[in-house]
Structures are given as C-alpha cells and as structure tokens.
Amino acid sequence: MNKFFITTPIYYVNDVPHIGHAYPTVAADVLTRYWKCKGYDARLLVGTDEHGAKIAEAAKKHNQQPKDYADKISEEFKQAWEKLDIDFVRFIRTTDEDHIKMAQKFLQKLYDKGAIDAKPRLYKGLYCVGHEKFMSPEELVNGLCPDHQTKPIEHSEENYYFKLTAYQKQLEQLITSDTIKISPQSRKNEILGKIKQGLEDISISRANLEWGIPLPFDCSHTAYVWIEALINYYTYGSQNNFWPADLHLVGKDILWFHAIIWPAMLLAIDEKLPKQIFAHGFFTVNGQKMSKTLGNVISPDQLVEKYGVDGTRYVLLAAFPFGEDGDFSWDALDRLYNADLANGLGNLVARVAKLCENITISDNNPSINKLVTSIPTTSGDITTLYAKALENYRFDEALKLIWDEIRIIDHYINNQQPWKLKGQNLINVMQVVVDAIRYLNLKLQPFLPETSEKILKQFSGAIKSQPPLFPRI
Ligand code: ME8
C-alpha cells in the first residue's frame, strides 16, 4: 500500500489552543482523509512542543512545575483536536520517553559524524523567548521583537554548534530541483534567496536552561528546543517504518526551521529527506493580529459552539486560500456558514429528502453520475479539478467546486419541477438527483466527515426528512 505521512507543527504548551493552531490542523486532517479515500495508508502526526525557556517561564507564572503545566495544556490540545474530529495516528509530546531517547540518539549521531563541534563556542547574542530563537539587531524595531513587543535577552554563554554552513550548496540544489518541494512558489523563492545570502552555523544547546533534553555527549547542556522539537517527526516515522514525511505542513513563520535546518540535520546523519513542505499563510481577526493583550484570541471551542464541528472545519478552510494571508471576522464567518451550509448544502439535502419521502429510490452506484459528469466545464471534470485543487493545497477551490455541484443540482431540480410530477416520472427525476448527492457526498467526506456520514445514512434505503444539518444563525 502506498503511504502518505503528514505532520503539523507541534505546538508550544505555553498557552491554550487557539484557531491559529486549529487552522493547519484541520487542513492536515482534510488531506489525510483525502489520501485515505484514495486508498493510501495516510497518517497524520500531531502533538505538543514542551521544552525550553518559553514553557519554563509560563509554568513559573502559574506556580507550577514545567512538566505539570505541560501535562495540563497538552491535554487541552489533544481534546481540542478530538473535538474537531482530527484523525491523527499519534499525539506526540516532546516529553514522551521515546521522543527523549530518539532525540538523544539523533544528537549523538550528529556529534559522532562531526556535524556538531567537538567543543562549545562562546556565543553572545539577543534571544527572543517568544520565538525561542536568536534575533539579529536588524530584526528588532526600537530594540524590541516586533512580533512579541518584548526586549530580547542578552545571552552570553558557551553553546555547541551545528555546522549548518556545510550544507549550503546541497540544500540549494535539493530545493531548486524540488527534491525537497517547497510551496507555494513564493516561499520557495524566499528560502532560496536566504540560502544565497549565506547560512551561518547555529547554536544547538543551552548551558543555563534546565528544562530541556540533556545532550548525550555533554549533560551539562540541554538541547536547543527547536533542534529537539523537529526530531519529533522522525521519532514517529522511524519507529513505525514510516519515514520520510511526505508533507510537513507549517506556518510561514517557521518555514526556515523546516526547510533549512531540519533537512540539514537529516543530511548530516544520512537520513531520507521530507518530500514536501508547505507553508500556509497567517490570518488576522478583524484586521488585527490575534493577541491576548487585544483580547481577540478565538478558541476552537468558540467556533464549535457556534458553527458545530463540521461548520468550524468548513469556515476555517473556505474563507481564503490556504497559502495566503487572510482575515477572519465573526460577521464574515456567519455569512459563509449561512450561505453555504445552512442555505446551500443544508437546504438542498432537506429539499430532496422531502421530495423523496413517498417514493422508493434505488441505492445506485454514486460514482456513475450522469448529472454531474455530463456538465461541461472549461477545464475538465469537477472531480479531477477537485483532486488537483486538494493536491495543490487549495482547499477553498476544492470547496468551490463542490458548491458548484450543489448549484447544478439545485438548477436541475428547479428546471424539472419534481413537485409537479407523479409516479415514475417523479422517481426518474429524483433518482438522478439522489445519485448526484451521493456522488457529491464522496467529495464532502474529507472536509465534513460527520455531515457526510449523516447524508450517507439519510440517502440509503428509505429516504426520510431529518432535523436540519446546519441550523441558520
Ligand atoms: O512554532 N494564522 O509552535 P507555536 C495562521 N512549537 N496560523 C497560525 C496563527 C495565525 N494567526 N497563529 C499560529 C511553534 N498559527 C513550534 C513548532 S514544529 C517542530 C515546532 C500556527 O505554538 C502556524 O501554523 O508557536 C504556526 O506555524 C504555528 O501555529 C506556530 O505554533
């Protein structure tokens, strides 16, 4: 069986989940379900990133030990993903025993291969705890990190270094040739541009931070959180004979780590490289960055309360192209929900079920559908276009295609006026309509698993009206 291994970022447990975390997680789940529908052994790995200064500080603020604090927040992430119907194969935590062992094994290999300096170097630099990374003076605005509005800490300590510079040429070639395929294209260009400017060796350990994984070759240091966190993908993949990753789905903010540092680490130990890295865009809420200070952080639960599980999955992915930046507002999401789910899909299903209540429709093969496949489109049939859209991470386009089908079926019903028909004439028209809905339902499945299951049940055997799929807001 062909495999498809998808990962999302593992999120920091300094704070509870918000819709920024849910966004790529739902997208990754849609892809996993899509590849499963195509007969692949598709697996999705999700999890939490639990070491480092950021988590240690958050725990301290809450008067807790880092591990206790991480246990609590990590569980909230897990529950949030379960609630959103995320079909993950494992929820990995960087405090899991097997990950700690694998990270140490990996680091030891890097050291043995000479990819890490034998001795630490003295490093002086500005460290942003929010980002968990060193920042150059040019990145700061008035001495502050522009993303976190905090002053970076001046670090002066001995750190071990990974010889990233040694992989510059190789990385450039691998990315240019799409051996590691980075998309969208604009992000690939950005990464290549940065490589051409020249790479620098990176510090991979901390001497004064206890909350981390000890370096196997020098236990007076802990591993730099990013280096250790990236290894999580390999912890699952290598143990389950599932490496390499077919797709790392990440936000544009962390593409550098995934496209440069991670492949370099794998090259250094002669391991297989991830095949694709897709960087999605960032969204604002009502035009503003989501932030605690502004009080505009939206939790996945808030969306689920309003739109239901499938409604949430829908509005997150339908609003704008996944690779681009966008904006969410409650008004816009309400409109999207009402127009497409309550009216579009919900109405169609309710209307058709009502028309079928007193007749018998046969359980036909939904993949042979005359209505939808006979619709000429300019660039190929809808199902092919749908697959293409999904494989290009254009969730919004894939959804638009499904909603085109909904409109086609609505039109057909309006033209045929089945409410005026009786007997076999009515059955003939409704058979076409019901087959079209069953056919459409296959494409809904990755996006709206619960709804698709309901539709499947409702349109099997005797068709009856049910409560609305998506009550109007
Ligand atoms: O970076 N719009 O974790 P993190 C879209 N632990 N996506 C958003 C978003 C927004 N407004 N806000 C957050 C880390 N995200 C590391 C990852 S991987 C080995 C380690 C998403 O908790 C986006 O995918 O800061 C971003 O990359 C991720 O949350 C960062 O999550």
pLDDT in tens, 190-211: 999 999 999 999 999 999 899 9
CATH architecture of 329-458: Orthogonal Bundle (1.10)
Sequence spans of domains, the chain: 3-120+160-281, 329-458
Confidence of residue 118 (pLDDT cuts 50, 70, 90): very high
End-to-end CA distance of the chain: 44
> Which residue's alpha carbon is nearest to atom 3 within ligand 1?
11
pTM: 0.95
Ligand 1 proximity of 9 Cβ (cutoff 6 Å) = yes
Residue 248's pLDDT is 98
Q: What is the mean pLDDT of the chain?
A: 94
> Which residue's alpha carbon is nearest to atom 14 within ligand 1?
11
Between the CA of 11 and the centroid of ligand 1 the distance, in Å, is: 6
Give the atom of ligand 1 at the shortest distance from the alpha carbon of 254.
Answer: 27
> Which residue's alpha carbon is nearest to atom 16 within ligand 1?
11
Residue 294's pLDDT is 83
Between the CA of 250 and the centroid of ligand 1 the distance, in Å, is: 7
Question: Which of 468, 203, 209 shows the shortest CA–CA distance to 341?
Answer: 468
Ligand 1 proximity of 230 Cβ (cutoff 6 Å) = yes
Check: CB of residue 179 under 8 Å from CB of residue 135: no
Encode the chain in three state secondary structure: CCEEEEECCCEECCCCCCHHHHHHHHHHHHHHHHHHHCCCEEEEEEEEECCCHHHHHHHHHCCCCHHHHHHHHHHHHHHHHHHCCCCCCEEEECCCHHHHHHHHHHHHHHHHCCCECCCCEEEEEEEECCCCEEECHHHCECCECCCCCCCCEEEEEEECEECHHHHHHHHHHHHHCCCCEEECHHHHHHHHHHHHHCCCCEECEECCCCCCCEECCEEEEEECHHHHHHHHHHHHHHHCCCCCCCEEEEEHHHHHHHHHHHHHHHHHCCCCCCCEEEEECCEEECCECCCCCCCCCCCHHHHHHHHHHHHHHHHHHHCCCCCCCEEECHHHHHHHHHHHHHHHHHHHHHHHHHHHCCCCCCCCCCCCCHHHHCCCCCCCCHHHHHHHHHHCCCHHHHHHHHHHHHHHHHHHHHHHCHHHCCHHHHHHHHHHHHHHHHHHHHHHCCCCHHHHHHHHHHCCCCCCCCCCCCCCC
Q: What is the amino acid identity at position 18?
A: H
Give the atom of ligand 1 at the shortest distance from the alpha carbon of 15.
Answer: 22
Give the atom of ligand 1 at the shortest distance from the alpha carbon of 11.
Answer: 22
Confidence of residue 382 (pLDDT cuts 50, 70, 90): confident
Confidence of residue 376 (pLDDT cuts 50, 70, 90): very low
Query: What is the pLDDT averaged over residues 84-99?
Result: 98
Between the CA of 251 and the centroid of ligand 1 the distance, in Å, is: 6
Ligand 1 pocket test target in 254, 297, 299, 324 with most atoms within 8 Å of CB: 254
| Beta carbons within 10 angstroms of residue 442's beta carbon | 16
Ligand 1 proximity of 195 Cβ (cutoff 6 Å) = no
Ligand 1 proximity of 254 Cβ (cutoff 6 Å) = yes
List C-alpha distances in Å: 41 to 32, 44, 45, 90, 417. Answer: 9, 10, 13, 14, 44
Between the CA of 253 and the centroid of ligand 1 the distance, in Å, is: 7
Residue 364's pLDDT is 65
Residue 123's pLDDT is 82
Ligand 1 proximity of 66 Cβ (cutoff 6 Å) = no
Ligand 1 pocket test target in 7, 8, 10, 11 with most atoms within 8 Å of CB: 11
Residue 373 has pLDDT above 80, yes or no: no
> Which residue's alpha carbon is nearest to atom 8 within ligand 1?
20
Residue 148's pLDDT is 87
Residue 309 has pLDDT above 90, yes or no: yes
Between the CA of 324 and the centroid of ligand 1 the distance, in Å, is: 15
Give the atom of ligand 1 at the shortest distance from the alpha carbon of 262.
Answer: 19
Residue 342's pLDDT is 98
Residue 101's pLDDT is 98
Residue 335 has pLDDT above 70, yes or no: yes
> Which residue's alpha carbon is nearest to atom 30 within ligand 1?
11
d(CA 305, CA 454): 19
Check: CB of residue 80 under 8 Å from CB of residue 300: yes
CATH architecture of 3-120+160-281: 3-Layer(aba) Sandwich (3.40)
Give the atom of ligand 1 at the shortest distance from the alpha carbon of 283.
Answer: 2
Ligand 1 proximity of 290 Cβ (cutoff 6 Å) = yes
| Beta carbons within 10 angstroms of residue 62's beta carbon | 12
Ligand 1 pocket test target in 6, 7, 12, 55 with most atoms within 8 Å of CB: 12
The most distant pair of C-alpha atoms in the chain lies apart, rounded to whole Å, by: 87
Ligand 1 pocket test target in 13, 129, 253 with most atoms within 8 Å of CB: 253
Between the CA of 352 and the centroid of ligand 1 the distance, in Å, is: 42
Between the CA of 10 and the centroid of ligand 1 the distance, in Å, is: 8
Among 5-14, 181-190, 432-441, the range scoring the smallest mean pLDDT is 432-441
Residue 371's pLDDT is 59
Give the atom of ligand 1 at the shortest distance from the alpha carbon of 49.
Answer: 6
Ligand 1 proximity of 47 Cβ (cutoff 6 Å) = no
